[in-house]
Structure 1
Amino acid sequence: MPRISAQTVREHRAAMEAALLDAAEDLLLETGSLTIAQVADRVGLSRNGVYKYVHSGDELIEGVAARHLPRWSETVSQAVAAATGPRERVLAYVRANLAEAVGERHSWRVALSSASLSDAARARIGAQHAQVGDLLRQALADLGVADADLLYGAIQGLLTAGLGALDAGEPLERVSRFTAGAVDRLLDERG
């Protein structure tokens, strides 16, 4: 029987799962990918030992997303809810997403986008991420703009460009001012 490093088996299992997720996140941040063998090496287990806690690399990557997406979603949701009208909700959505991207260990988002995942795992993570996007869709619907789907895509494109600028080291204030300003002008054109 293997030794456990906690008072109970449940505590040991939780600690090992956390250590595996930590290792997976570190590898994603460092290299943009991971293998079960690399994770095993980081936590001092055999490859087969890792499979006692997780079923696949996809599960580890989804676990990293599950650590961050709920907080990200909640932060953006609160900012959007605090805005006074639909246009302000759109701008709050943009600003909150940008601000959240410069938080602690934000590079997980970039790592997830480039990680090798099965189509099913990518779809599950995408579904979680889409819940945040629904806030923007609702604000655009409330504005009653024509071509709301095209406008949604354009705003998400501007936001993606802003996130890329942040990842490249541009300051949040500059990126947020530019991106929110561009979205505001786009709303003038399409509103």
Structure 2
Amino acid sequence: MSDSKHPERGDGLPSRTRAHRGGGRSVREGPPGRETALTKTTYRRNWVGIGNRAGTELDRFGMLLSDLGRIIGEVAILTPPFLFVLFLAPLGGPYSSVFELFLVAWPTMILVGTLLRGGWIAPPLTEVPGWVRLFPTLILLRLLYFNGTLVVAIYGGQVVANVTATIAIGLVWSLIVAAASMLLFPRVVDEWMARLT
């Protein structure tokens, strides 16, 4: 008999699949476009080749690494349009430290996204925890949102640094903008999906 039809094995224990998935929760539970179930389970599925996925139960450190890899992939793949413009744009002012501002904003986006995906922190202004699924329309939204975040974090930080005549305040600006934008992204997605449905 298949475990999928019978959630309990002959010994009365839950099937391996249900145990690993945190009671059989699907990643698709929760609001459209959100991965809420991942915050309640130690089970992670990973891509292992074209058309193939594998899943295992991980400890907390393994979950953190798995979620970190996913968020690095999202941010790294979708921010090169801005990075290309960043290195071609004319820079000015005595405190034009665009590269340092980038080195604060980009890792902050990745760290906060990772913590949201694993459920270590909860996004504000939404009732459910978790990160965002990889729907095609949400990839387009990510492209605009992530690059817009970097524009505000880096160029805004440069303006703040030049006005206050100190790079430290510009770096704080960059950190706050990057962290706040990632914390608010799940709420933005909830609103986006509500308009599409």
Normalising to structure 1: TM-score of the pair?
0.35
Q: Which structure is higher in helix share?
A: 1
Q: Which structure is higher in strand share?
A: 2
Normalising to structure 2: TM-score of the pair?
0.34
